[in-house]
Structure 1
Amino acid sequence: MEQLNFVNLIQAGITTIGILGAVLLWQSKGNEYRGVALLLLMTAIASCINIMEETGLTRDIYLISPVFIMLFGPASYLAIKLLIEKRLNRSQLLHLLPVLPVLMVTAYVEVVIAIGTVWRIVYASLTVLLLLNYKRLLDQQRSDSDEFSLTWLMWILAITATFNLLDLLRLNLQHAIPMQLNVFGQGLNNLIWLISAMLIIVKLQLQNKMPRTGQDASEKPVENTEENRVKSRAENATLNPVEQPESAQQSEGDYAAIFVELDRLVSNNAWYLTPRLTLNDVSELTGLQTRDISRAINVCAKKSFNEYINGYRVDYVCQALRQANKQSLTDIALDAGFSSKASFNKVFKHITGQTPSQYKSANEV
């Protein structure tokens, strides 16, 4: 039996953190977090198997560790998909199917590593695209989308993917590089995994309940009341979808009447001051269907719902600062409808090109 080295100690840490994180997320969060919990548990099992194989305990029985190179890609993709969509179809579990034949040929380590390298790149790309699409949908539906967009997770995935690619390159070339460099590379990659696992556990524990996205999450039937006069104007201006092609339905002129009335109501009633305002909220206030509101803003304002509402909020803050408002920046931001200081600072700088403090200093009398 070989002695443990510093890499095995890091792997022991990953095993401990993975099991702890899996238990915490499984017990304290909803069902949609259980995919991440299982992913953390799988990481712990992989690290434990690595320790046993590298110390000689199981190496002569059967080599299992190479299969995890194939498994982590689809497992990560499915875990994130469950987290943001809150459900998985049984057919989607077929993503894991190609792993089974690989389990039978792990003795051909170089071949498994080469295939696994391509497999990981493909699924890392699919996972990032999944998260980007989720953020886009949130921007169309919520004014507080930054709090749920999982941008931090995209950064973690990007960083770990970069180190994983370097480590996979190391694995493919391990017979051609010095032993010390090989061990250092393995240790560095395991350390990145350890830190990433801890960050994911902490961030998800602090994360508010993930909102649903898509038409099924936002579309609601609208009653025929006097408040629905906006809808009547829209129906007169909008082409019949059965009689007209899609391109005609989406022209700016078709949605101009909707947007003009919508913008007037949002501005006059200061609905943008409502914290965590959603597309659904505006739909209930105006009587318009959510798809019409979203499309009108996209086509006429050239913005997402999130950008449109937060643009009004930034204008409110700027006006308050120009009037030498004695409130703190945080209080003004909260009055404007922002739900967090971090989100306010990010949106304000994106729109004005200055931080709130810089803008305040520049406009002080």
Structure 2
Amino acid sequence: MLDDLSFGWRSAVLVVAEVQLLIVAAALARAMANRTANRTLALLLLVLVGIVTPWMIGFAGFYDKWRWLSFAPFQITLGVAPLFYFYVHALVTGTWPVPAWRHLAPPTLQFAFLTGSFLLPMPAKNAWSAIITTPYDIVTGIGAIAGMLFYGREALALLHRYRGLLATQRSDDHRFAATWISRAIAAGAALLAVWTVYAVWDALSPLGYTGLMGLYVAIAIFALFIAIEGWRHAALPFPTIESLAIPADPTPPPRDWRALGEAWAAQVRAEHWARDPDLSLATLARRLGTNTGHLSRALNEGLGVNFSTFINRLRCDAVAEAIAAGSTADLLDLALDAGFSSKASFNRAFQAAYGMAPSSYRRAHGSKAE
């Protein structure tokens, strides 16, 4: 029965990618942390597998052997952009945007259209295909491109807001800044450019199955990137935007926020509280005997910094003091002892605080040991 099929290198490349995506999707669906986000990403990966599938089986000759497969509802291209946005939204808020049905209406209609066309008898299906294929490809192609532009912008705006809140509440904000999602959006922009070029090219001069191979390899690469990065961050307990919101002080008494900020900074420095890598605004406020609103105002209005910058500057100062005292310990050990949780966050904070890399600072001010 399979003698008429031909599994060449094109089918092999796509099927290897699909198998990996399905494995990661199954693992994400079972993850307990960030359940809504991880299950949304698993659904997105399944949609991406569906987009690649017709080309994988088409290269193998499935459509030539079983013509009734035409219009099989594999390619729900209009679902990629909203599901990616849903993933970002669920990651930072814990839920999908409301109402979700408005965002999912286009892919639902696309699925219904393909399913209805797929169920037609073969003579009717062939006639329908000759009429509808070109306008359908144009409409869904424009819709997919427009969706990637719109939802990419929305995802970036949401991440920007999230990072701003993180910096006011967490000293380990770099762990949850989700820079990989920004890279995924950039990768999506590159995929959008490739998709647009292929769409225009194919409209002007039909490329056929083999000519579009590059596009579907690009889609598979994008899918594998977000699958791997999503799995790497699947168990990280992201604080939600709601939990990061600082309660408003309805009747704040007049205070000298600068004096308070300087007094609290001196106490934090004396107690070495910045060495706690998980230190948050709420934890520090409890230790200082105040509330998060007052502490936030003392830092923002009094000292002109957000919480993350304040704590990480204290950590950088601790490393600089150790270097000046002649410590020969490894820089990473000094950073971890000061409260940093990674080398990357230490290097970034130290560069911002002192205008040079930690190794350069040591050469200029301390021991020659690296």
Aligned mates of 2:220, 2:269 — CA distance in 1: 51
Q: Aligned partner of 2:165: which letter?
A: L
CA RMSD in angstroms comes to 3.0
- Give 1:324 shift: 0.8
Give the match for residue 32 of structure 2. Answer: 29
Paired residues in the alignment total: 336
1:49 touches 1:64 (CA, 8 Å); kept in 2?
no
- Within a 5 Å distance, the mapping from 1:1-365 to structure 2 comes to 3-4=6-7, 6-30=9-33, 31-32=35-36, 33-52=38-57, 55=61, 56=63, 57=66, 61-62=70-71, 64=73, 67-68=76-77, 70-88=78-96, 91-103=99-111, 104=113, 107=133, 108-177=136-205, 179=207, 182-183=211-212, 185-205=214-234, 207-214=235-242, 216-217=243-244, 235-237=252-254, 255-364=257-366
Aligned mates of 2:58, 2:73 — CA distance in 1: 9
2:44 touches 2:84 (CA, 8 Å); kept in 1?
yes
1:7 touches 1:183 (CA, 8 Å); kept in 2?
no
Aligned mates of 1:296, 1:358 — CA distance in 2: 33
5+ long unaligned stretches in structure 1: 222-230, 239-253
- Give 1:78 shift: 0.5
Q: Aligned partner of 1:48: which letter?
A: T
Aligned mates of 1:63, 1:359 — CA distance in 2: 63
- Give 1:6 shift: 4.1
Q: Aligned partner of 1:81: which letter?
A: H
1:283 touches 1:293 (CA, 8 Å); kept in 2?
yes
- Give 1:350 shift: 2.9
Q: Aligned partner of 1:204: which letter?
A: H
Give identity over the alignment, percent: 23
Aligned mates of 1:201, 1:212 — CA distance in 2: 17
Aligned mates of 1:356, 1:52 — CA distance in 2: 54
Q: Residue 237 of structure 1 aligns to a residue in which SS?
A: coil
- Give 1:8 shift: 3.3
Aligned mates of 1:82, 1:194 — CA distance in 2: 19
Deviates more, 1:113-122 or 1:51-60: 51-60
Taking a change above 3 Å as real, the CA distance of residues 351 and 264 of structure 1, as seen in their structure-2 partners, is closer
- Give 1:3 shift: 4.3
5+ long unaligned stretches in structure 2: 115-131
Q: Aligned partner of 1:186: which letter?
A: L
- Give 1:318 shift: 0.7
Task: Please give the per-residue CA displacement for 1:271-296, whole angstroms capped at 9, x wherever unaligned.
Answer: 21222210111121123221332233
- Give 1:65 shift: 5.3
Taking a change above 3 Å as real, the CA distance of residues 64 and 109 of structure 1, as seen in their structure-2 partners, is farther
Q: Aligned partner of 2:238: which letter?
A: M
- Give 1:127 shift: 1.3
Q: Residue 210 of structure 1 aligns to a residue in which SS?
A: coil
- Give 1:13 shift: 2.5
- Give 1:15 shift: 1.9
- Give 1:38 shift: 1.8
Task: Please give the per-residue CA displacement for 1:37-68, whole angstroms capped at 9, x wherever unaligned.
Answer: 22222222332244345642567631645541
Deviates more, 1:53-62 or 1:31-40: 53-62
- Give 1:351 shift: 2.4
Instruction: Give the alignment's TM-score, normalised by structure 1.
Output: 0.81
Q: Residue 202 of structure 2 aligns to a residue in which SS?
A: coil
